[in-house]
Structure 1
Amino acid sequence: MIREHFEFRQTITTILADDPKEIAAAKSGMMAARQEVERQIALDSYFSATLEPYAPKDPERTPDRMARAAAVAGVGPMAAVAGAIAWAGVEAMVEEGATFALVDNGGDIALVSDREVKIGIYAGASPLSGRIAFLVPPQEEILGICTSSATVGPSISFGTADAVTVFSPDVAAADAWATAICNRITPEDTPVLDALPGTGIRGVLAVIGDAVIRWGDLPPIVRARVDERLITAGNDWRHGRS
């Protein structure tokens, strides 16, 4: 397996593949998606500024995915940007013939896999951080595994959760819902999860301190030791923080 770090402006990723051609395809796919987003922002700066759902006029594929996912989750389109770009990268790898492909864009992951994959959960100061992982079975279709945190990283959050991880075949939706849930969930208050049936979201895991909240269909969770050197930290598009 090849592991390669790829970084361009706010896009900071780790790519896993079996063939160098698939790594190149991932980079090309992500850059094409980035260009679509950049063109959208150049035409309409409100697209990148708003924290509310917003329907741009005649968007290209990646901004359209972002806006549609964000509208259902009740957040701004940029809440889905990392997942949407990772998604485009893995799609390009699949077109190149990959049966194992993973792009981690700052904690927002898209993958297909012909093997079992262990994905660690990093949750900042939570006592569970780095000690548990998802054991994701082989995936013939693209799956999004996206994480938002109110206590780790540069992205805007209005919540308190150390980590909210969302599983969906729509990677942009997984990213948008991770933000939406992280903004609102607490150990005592979980009604945001009531909105998930019918959205295509498969499962949610929220870690808040030593509390764990589960919803839907999740892969097995196993004990693990997460190597923090392998964590892909991202930048925030809206504010340029790192």
Structure 2
Amino acid sequence: MKAKTIFEERITIGETELKVSSDLMVPELSNYIISLRSQLKGYIMKNPEFLTSFEPLTVKETLDNKLSPDHGHTSEVPLIVNLMSRAGRRADVGPMAAVAGTISQLLMGFMVEKGANFIIIDNGGDISLEINKDVVVGLYAGESSLSGELGFKIKPKQTPMGICTSSGTVGHSISFGRADSVTVFANEASIADALATSIANEAKGTKDEDAVQRSLEHAEEFKKAMRGVMVVVGESAGTLGRIPQLVQTDKKVVLGDLFEV
């Protein structure tokens, strides 16, 4: 049987920069992204601490979320807000630490509902995927010699999966540690994103191996919430839990272009 064509598309809407690979083109995807961003911005306007907090938050009903005279039911906090809040509480970080992974997760679910059998959503290195054939996700770890040399082989039976990376040396995300990369594998990208931030924050110490060890000790607290994690600091690396099979790759890997199909 002839393999289905995989379509690739890059979508940039505001701060959201996506690479979408799928066996199905979904024209409504951009509108869905706009809707998610609008829901999140609307909630933040009424609850500004959701944007700024470095501590976990429990979302609450806003004043406008009362009985609607037009619809006759109680409006709920948007799903994107609930998922971000839950992820932050699981990882002991603020909810915005999970924003990219949560968007990735929701978009993947949207595509699957539309009938996609192969879908990878890469939101600036925070990936959500459900696939029907093997793929390799490249390891990007800044200036470390491991960057671009290794990849993770993902099999269909392992998905859906969230794969999220946090770094204290690469990218614009806030990190209080100095990890070149902390890559977390979890059932959901929202959880993986928040955990990657939390674990990367603890990559401290003058020696690279000490920073790796501190990160992994912190990761022990969250073993039940994830499948596994790989931490890279300079030329030192360590893992915890079950990570996908590591394979060698000669692919040049850059942030936001993390996988080969």
TM-score by length of 1: 0.90
Residue 194 of structure 1 aligns to which amino acid in structure 2?
Answer: E
Give 1:165 deviation, angstroms: 0.5
* Residue of structure 2 equivalent to 1:208: 233
How do 1:74-223 and structure 2 match up within 5 A?
A: 74-139=92-157, 141-185=159-203, 186-189=211-214, 190-199=216-225, 201-223=226-248
**For residues 81-126 of structure 1, what are the alpha-carbon distances to aligned partners after superposition, in whole Å with 9 as ceiling and x for unaligned?**
0000011111110001111001000000000000001110111111
Q: Does the 8 Å CA contact 1:16/1:103 hold for their aligned counterparts? A: yes
Q: Does the 8 Å CA contact 1:187/1:208 hold for their aligned counterparts? A: yes
- Given the superposition, is the C-alpha separation of residues 6 and 139 from structure 1 closer, same or farther in structure 2, using an over 3 Å criterion? farther
Look at both structures and tell me which one has the larger radius of gyration over its CA atoms: 2
* Residue of structure 2 equivalent to 1:50: 53
Runs of 4+ aligned residues of structure 1 deviating over 4 Å after TM superposition are none
Residue 164 of structure 1 aligns to which amino acid in structure 2?
Answer: V
| Whole-angstrom distance in 2 between the partners of 1:25 and 1:170 | 23
Q: Does the 8 Å CA contact 1:132/1:222 hold for their aligned counterparts? A: yes
Number of aligned residues: 229
TM-score by length of 2: 0.83
Report the secondary structure of 1:89's partner residue: helix
- Given the superposition, is the C-alpha separation of residues 102 and 114 from structure 1 closer, same or farther in structure 2, using an over 3 Å criterion? same
Gaps of at least 5 residues in structure 2 are 1-5, 62-76, 204-210
User: Which one is further off, 175-184 or 203-212?
Assistant: 203-212
Q: Does the 8 Å CA contact 2:105/2:189 hold for their aligned counterparts? A: yes
- Given the superposition, is the C-alpha separation of residues 228 and 141 from structure 1 closer, same or farther in structure 2, using an over 3 Å criterion? closer
What is the RMSD of the two structures over their aligned residues, measured on CA atoms? 1.6
How do 1:223-242 and structure 2 match up within 5 A?
A: 223-228=248-253, 231-232=255-256
Q: Does the 8 Å CA contact 1:114/1:140 hold for their aligned counterparts? A: no
| Whole-angstrom distance in 2 between the partners of 1:169 and 1:33 | 21
- Given the superposition, is the C-alpha separation of residues 140 and 208 from structure 1 closer, same or farther in structure 2, using an over 3 Å criterion? closer
Give 1:188 deviation, angstroms: 3.6
Match status 1:39 vs 2:46: no
- Given the superposition, is the C-alpha separation of residues 87 and 26 from structure 1 closer, same or farther in structure 2, using an over 3 Å criterion? farther
Match status 1:12 vs 2:17: yes
Relative contact order (alpha carbons < 8 A, sep ≥ 6): 1 or 2 greater?
1
Q: Does the 8 Å CA contact 1:28/1:92 hold for their aligned counterparts? A: no
Query: What is the identity percentage for the equivalent residue pairs of Structure 1 and Structure 2?
Result: 36
